[in-house]
Amino acid sequence: MKKITKKTVEEFYEMLAPCTVCPRACGVDRLNGELGNCNAGLDVEVSSYHQHFGEEPPLVGRHGSGTIFLAHCNLHCVFCQNYEISQLGMGRKVTIEELAEMMLVLQERGCHNINFVTPTPWVPQIVDALAVAQSKGLDLPIVYNCGGYESVNTLEMLESIVDIYMPDIKYADNKIAAKYSDVGDYWDVVRPALVEMHRQVGDLSVEDGIAKRGLLIRHLVLPNNNAGSGECFEFIRDNLSLTTVVNVMAQYYPTHRAGQYTDMNRRITTQEYRAAIEELTRLGLDSGFRQTIDTIFRSIVPEWTDDLKDTGDK
Ligand code: SF4
């Protein structure tokens, strides 16, 4: 992480009024109490922070990923597994000093990185807290764990501050994104955002089993191919690299409001997950993770155990 100066922090705060932190560009004055689409204000809100052992293996290592869950989100996915945090705003306001202290505590506990979950609405405050933590000895890789709906301008400002980008690629169709995440230009926005992330940090670089820098993309397979898995993978292959690490995730379940939609109100089938993996393999993008019943399905869909055994971990 580069040295974060006072001037850099000030430049980030300028994005809050009018707010252009993310592509929604609501234009509200968050410095003076106005709220935009994400409902994030000026004081940063944290839901929890802890050593997380459920993230991808290179982030977890032996001592866990130092995860900080932030409240509010600029997407409104009807199937969000963390909707109490992202959409109902479950969390508490903390000061910049407290946020910095959380990072230092996680470093003290041996975590291999600081992993901000849903950082997008809070980029200025995070950078402010990083400056404080940095002055007190924080030197872990910084993980930006987001939904992929990011402003390229904001990402450019984060160059050399973020070490590992971990975005989703959720959909390859704007209309589907509008229906299920309340955002009408997701596919238009996520593509240049991923290109910018990859330009900054390149492919995932792992030393002694621990991720140090790079891009790790998550893709959640949705029922009825609503995620457009093949198109997402094709974009990655053609515009990022053949060695981009992609975690193809199988754990979709119809939580929150997803049950109201007939084509989203069930888990995915083994065939749907296999089809996504086959497409990934056909395109030659096989540097990523595949999920097995051991990590995903054993507890929730025991009858799928045998079927999924052959998907294998990468
Ligand atoms: S961060 Fe929130 S308020 Fe700012 S532009 Fe995005 S959705 Fe709007």
Is the CB of 74 inside a 6 Å radius of any atom of ligand 1?
yes
pLDDT for 300: 35
pLDDT for 290: 65
Residue 39 to residue 93: CA distance in whole angstroms: 13
110 domain-assigned: yes
Task: Write the secondary structure of 36-97 as one string of H (helix), E (strand) and C (coil).
Answer: CCCCCCCCCEEEEEEEECCCCHHHHCCCCEEEEEECCCCCCCCCCCCHHHHCCCCCEECCHH
pLDDT for 301: 38
Residue 302 to residue 32: CA distance in whole angstroms: 52
CA of 298 relative to ligand 1 center, distance in Å: 38
Number of the ligand 1 atom closest to the C-alpha atom of 25: 5
Report the DSSP beta bridge partners of residue 218: 168, 247
Report the DSSP beta bridge partners of residue 237: none
112 domain-assigned: yes
32 domain-assigned: yes
Burial code of 235-263, b = ≥16 C-beta within 10 A, e = fewer? bbbeebeeebbbbbbbebebebbbeebee
Is the CB of 15 inside a 6 Å radius of any atom of ligand 1?
no
The model's pTM is: 0.92
Shortest-distance Cα residue to atom 5 of ligand 1: 25
Is the CB of 26 inside a 6 Å radius of any atom of ligand 1?
yes
Q: What is the block-wise mean pLDDT of the chain (314 residues), using blocks of 10 residues?
A: 94 98 98 96 96 92 96 96 88 97 98 98 98 97 98 98 98 98 98 98 93 96 97 97 92 92 94 93 80 41 38 32
Is the CB of 275 inside a 6 Å radius of any atom of ligand 1?
no
Shortest-distance Cα residue to atom 2 of ligand 1: 38
Number of the ligand 1 atom closest to the C-alpha atom of 36: 3
Q: Which of 22, 72, 75 to mutate to test the pocket of ligand 1 (most atoms within 8 A of CB)?
A: 22
Using CB atoms within 10 Å of the CB of residue 142, give its burial: 0 to 12 exposed, 13 to 18 middle, 19+ buried.
buried
What total number of domains does the chain contain?
1
Report the DSSP beta bridge partners of residue 70: 46
Residue 125 to residue 31: CA distance in whole angstroms: 11
pLDDT for 105: 98
1 domain-assigned: no
Residue 119 to residue 126: CA distance in whole angstroms: 8
Shortest-distance Cα residue to atom 4 of ligand 1: 19
Are 219 and 229 within 8 A, CB to CB?
Answer: yes
DSSP H helical ranges for 116-185: 123-135, 152-157, 174-181
CA of 150 relative to ligand 1 center, distance in Å: 10
CA dihedral over 305, 309, 311, 312, signed as positive or negative: positive
39 domain-assigned: yes
CA of 212 relative to ligand 1 center, distance in Å: 29
Residue 22 to residue 142: CA distance in whole angstroms: 19
291 domain-assigned: yes
What CATH number has the domain bearing residue 48?
Answer: 3.20.20.70
pLDDT for 299: 36
160 domain-assigned: yes
CA of 87 relative to ligand 1 center, distance in Å: 13
Both structure tokens of 144: 């930006």
Is the CB of 118 inside a 6 Å radius of any atom of ligand 1?
no
Residue 164 to residue 213: CA distance in whole angstroms: 5
Task: Centre a 10 Å sphere on the Cβ of residue 93 and count the other Cβ atoms it contains.
Answer: 12
pLDDT for 297: 38
Shortest-distance Cα residue to atom 6 of ligand 1: 22
Which domain range does residue 168 map to? Answer: 6-311
pLDDT for 88: 86
